[in-house]
């Protein structure tokens, strides 16, 4: 939306005979209220002219003032090192109405990704282990980046790089063969699997021989032993079925499941490519790629017993994504603890001579911090399961509904939308690289910075629209000029820029925090001004504002993969 206003500023500069470098690049939306709709920082120009930025800003503002009104600009103002542009209410209102008409129900904020493919690897759990809250991040951050990319016109391939290969499947198969009959696999397949997993690791702590047996069993699996392969297949099936429940609840969908095992018959080719480039060297019987010159540990390609490794499969999968899936952008949404791993993999790709290594990004994130539970480990079994967290959120919301609004329709559905939405929003409102505090009170605080707060605001707009019960005007009848109205409009106009920046940095929290700002501004407007029951033209104009707010909020929540209930 702001693009239109930006080009007005560019035209004004041009017609005023000012040659400003890099336009429209530097033009931005000011963060502070009262600073107009757009701001042009003059620091670069000031440096060129060897003058103080405030002076340059003043000179520029004076030069631009005379013809500003031709471009719908009411005021050009110098403020420190910036020139600020205030557009007339009429111009911004028309823009809002236009957007409201053209973008109805669509996420298509931009088409700049048209013709490009983004592959994104997200929520890729390790088979046989329940997803814990750590996977929540990889899931919700990933899905929202999927949505953001689609909103920018990209073709997106969401990939599940399921952890379905590696020595732990030797362990598991061995455990199943020896202890499996003790567990209720028919009634509780997934729980049984996980118990086997925990038991093996506990037993291996005191019995050093178990690790060897597990490793041997894995080599058998790698060699295609039919008995072991059958167990492995069962393990994968049971797990995927379990995960699908949670993905369903979170509204997550992968386009392709490409587990680690998928790359088995591509690993030789990877080794061959490494050999051809003279990158593969022996180290204590294992094959590695040395990365000393970058101060990194070597990347392990093949173990002494011939088994492949996580990194080997990631090399194969990167090549697959580029060569087979034609990825222009290849993202890995994985926790910060795997930073070294991805640096190693990307470095090996670079050494292989693949310039596209630069299109690969590790989209990393921090951990959850709970008040009294330390770092979680699924080996020991003391984990906070994603399933439990989501069910608890839903049942807490149910209780709140029973207390506050017991006659609400579709209570179950609303509780699910609000409970799940609360968990997702709490995650996505934080810059992903930081740790996230997990605090039930804040997560479900309908008045604080929370998912329910934003959902509630959208619902409030919806019910106003329902009450109004007429088509929304396609032109503002009366100019909306109060501070509350102008600020709300200003914030909404820059929303699509936020979406685009959020995609550039793979940071959904920019969208989440912008939505919070819009809600705050809307509530402010709503508390200060009457909407229905005012004189005719004013009601119509204000309803345009309400409809626009509703639309931005529901599209924004949609980008975060959060639903808006009908009522709440």
Q: In the bound complex, what is the minimum distance in angstroms from residue 53's beta carbon to ligand ARG?
A: 45
* DSSP string computed for 341-359: HHHHHHHHHHHTT-GGGGG
- List residues binding ligand ARG (CB under 6 A): 121, 124-126, 161, 163, 314, 317, 332, 334
Q: How far apart are CA 168 and CA 211, in angstroms?
A: 9
Quick one: 124 or 550, whose CB is closer to ligand ARG?
A: 124
Find out whether 35 and 79 touch, Cβ atoms under 8 Å: yes
Q: In the bound complex, what is the minimum distance in angstroms from residue 195's beta carbon to ligand ARG?
A: 20
Q: In the bound complex, what is the minimum distance in angstroms from residue 124's beta carbon to ligand ARG?
A: 4
Q: In the bound complex, what is the minimum distance in angstroms from residue 126's beta carbon to ligand ARG?
A: 5
According to DSSP, the β-strands at 73-79 and 82-87 are antiparallel
Quick one: 44 or 300, whose CB is closer to ligand ARG?
A: 300
Angle between helices 509-528 and 483-493 (to 10 degrees): 160
Question: Which tokens is 550 given?
Answer: 């509703």
Q: In the bound complex, what is the minimum distance in angstroms from residue 218's beta carbon to ligand ARG?
A: 16
Quick one: 143 or 317, whose CB is closer to ligand ARG?
A: 317
User: Nearest residue to ligand ARG, using CB?
Assistant: 163
Q: Which residue has the tokens 């894995």?
A: 218
Quick one: 163 or 421, whose CB is closer to ligand ARG?
A: 163
Quick one: 126 or 554, whose CB is closer to ligand ARG?
A: 126
Quick one: 135 or 351, whose CB is closer to ligand ARG?
A: 135
Q: How far apart are CA 183 and CA 549, in angstroms?
A: 54
Q: In the bound complex, what is the minimum distance in angstroms from residue 159's beta carbon to ligand ARG?
A: 8
- Residues with Cβ within 8 Å of 435's Cβ and at least 6 positions away in sequence, in order, are 366, 367, 368, 369
CA angle 483, 485, 487 (to 5 degrees): 65
Q: In the bound complex, what is the minimum distance in angstroms from residue 297's beta carbon to ligand ARG?
A: 17
Q: In the bound complex, what is the minimum distance in angstroms from residue 368's beta carbon to ligand ARG?
A: 15
Q: Sheet containing 155-160: which strands, arranged edge to edge?
A: 256-257, 155-160, 117-121, 329-333, 360-363
Distances (CA, A) of 553 to 390, 426, 474, 503, 519: 23, 16, 20, 18, 8
User: Partners of 39 in the beta sheet?
Assistant: 28, 84
SS3 166: coil
Quick one: 364 or 496, whose CB is closer to ligand ARG?
A: 364
């Amino acid at each position: 939306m702001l693009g239109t206003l930006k080009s007005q500023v560019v035209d004004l500069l041009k017609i005023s005979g000012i040659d400003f470098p890099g336009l429209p690049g530097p033009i931005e939306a000011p963060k502070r209220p009262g600073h107009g709709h757009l701001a042009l920082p003059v620091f670069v120009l000031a440096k060129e002219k060897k003058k103080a930025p405030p002076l340059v800003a003043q000179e520029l503002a004076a030069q631009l003032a005379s013809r500003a009104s031709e471009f719908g600009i009411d005021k050009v103002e110098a403020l420190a090192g910036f020139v600020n542009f205030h557009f007339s209410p009429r111009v911004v209102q028309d823009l809002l109405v236009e957007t409201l008409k053209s973008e109805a129900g669509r996420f298509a904020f931009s088409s700049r990704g048209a013709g490009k493919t983004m592959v994104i690897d997200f929520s890729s759990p390790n088979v046989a282990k329940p997803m814990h809250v750590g996977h929540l991040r990889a899931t919700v951050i990933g899905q929202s980046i999927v949505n953001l990319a689609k909103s920018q016109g990209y073709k997106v391939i969401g990939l599940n790089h399921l952890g379905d290969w590696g020595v732990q499947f030797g362990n598991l198969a061995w455990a199943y063969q020896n202890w499996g009959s003790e567990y209720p696999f028919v009634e509780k397949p997934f729980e049984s699997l996980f118990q086997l997993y925990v038991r093996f690791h506990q037993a291996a702590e005191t019995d050093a021989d178990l690790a060897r047996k597990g490793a041997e069993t894995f080599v058998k699996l790698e060699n295609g032993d039919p008995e072991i392969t059958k167990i492995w297949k069962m393990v994968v099936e049971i797990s995927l079925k379990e995960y699908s429940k949670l993905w369903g609840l979170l509204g997550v969908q992968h386009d392709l499941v490409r587990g680690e095992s998928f790359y088995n018959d591509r690993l030789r080719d990877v080794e061959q490519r490494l050999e051809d480039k003279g990158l593969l060297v022996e180290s204590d019987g294992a094959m590695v790629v040395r990365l000393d010159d970058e101060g990194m540990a070597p990347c392990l390609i093949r173990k002494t017993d011939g088994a492949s490794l996580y990194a080997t499969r990631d090399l194969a999968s990167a090549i697959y994504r580029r060569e087979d899936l034609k990825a222009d952008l290849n993202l890995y949404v994985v926790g910060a603890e795997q930073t070294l791993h991805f640096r190693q993999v990307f470095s090996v790709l670079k050494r292989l001579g693949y310039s596209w290594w630069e299109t690969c990004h590790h989209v990393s994130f921090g951990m959850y911090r709970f008040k009294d539970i330390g770092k979680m480990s699924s080996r020991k079994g003391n984990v906070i399961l994603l399933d439990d967290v989501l069910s608890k959120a839903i049942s807490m919301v149910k209780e709140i509904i029973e207390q506050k609004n017991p006659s609400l329709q579709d209570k179950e559905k609303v509780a699910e939308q609000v409970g799940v939405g609360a968990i997702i929003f709490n995650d996505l409102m934080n810059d992903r690289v930081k740790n996230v505090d997990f605090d039930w009170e804040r997560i479900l605080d309908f008045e604080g910075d929370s998912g329910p707060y934003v959902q509630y605001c959208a619902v409030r707009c919806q019910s106003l629209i329902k009450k109004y019960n007429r088509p929304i005007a396609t032109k503002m009848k009366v100019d909306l000029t109060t501070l509350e109205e102008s600020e709300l409009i200003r914030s909404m106009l820059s929303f699509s820029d936020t979406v685009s920046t959020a995609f550039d940095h793979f940071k959904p929290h920019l969208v989440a925090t912008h939505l919070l700002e819009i809600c705050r501004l809307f509530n402010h407007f709503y508390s200060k001004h009457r909407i229905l029951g005012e004189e005719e033209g004013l009601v119509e104009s204000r309803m345009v504002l309400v409809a626009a707010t509703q639309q931005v909020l529901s599209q924004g929540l949609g980008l975060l993969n959060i639903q808006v209930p009908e009522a709440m």
